[in-house]
Structure 1
Amino acid sequence: MREVFERFDKLSRRFGDLGNRLGEFVEAMVEPALVDLFCTRGLDISEVHRRVISRRGGETIEIDLLVVGGDTFVAVECSGTREASPAGQRCQ
């Protein structure tokens, strides 16, 4: 029985690693298109940071892509799945 649990744990880790790689792939595909989009809208991009982690008040968040242009910062969440609601409805 122990061997079954060990195999299950190993398989779970492999699926987790695969999910992380998929996320990295999606971010790599989104980044150049995102820079082009913001540039065409007049935002002069000076920096793009991947996987920015912020810890405040005991909470941790990860920002997939942080785009910086002048005094403007845009946090972008990338997803490998499509959601029904438009992205603008999730912006705060």
Structure 2
Amino acid sequence: MGIAAGIGHFFQSIVEVIQGLLAAVVNFFQWILNSIIGLFQAFVNFIEGALGFAIHNFFILGTLAAAVFAYLLYSQRQGTTPVSRTIKNKRN
């Protein structure tokens, strides 16, 4: 009975080693796939953040440009800028 049990345990160990190797291969490919998915998700999050940052700054810079443009129009109509004085002098 001892020799038969030993042979049975030996073959069982061989099967477990093969199962362990197959599990290692499967886990390796899962790790590769999860790494690719994680990299893609990080890239998408980066693009989302960059676009959000650009859009918010676009509106802030647009508002600032509109304020400067309005000031320039106002000052040209009042004749307080050198450009508006030059334009008025050329008309006379």
TM range (shorter): 0.3 to 0.5
Counting helix residues as a fraction of each chain, which structure ranks higher?
2
Q: TM-score, normalised by structure 2?
A: 0.43
| Greater C-alpha Rg | 2
Larger RCO, structures 1/2 (Cα 8 Å, 6+ apart): 1
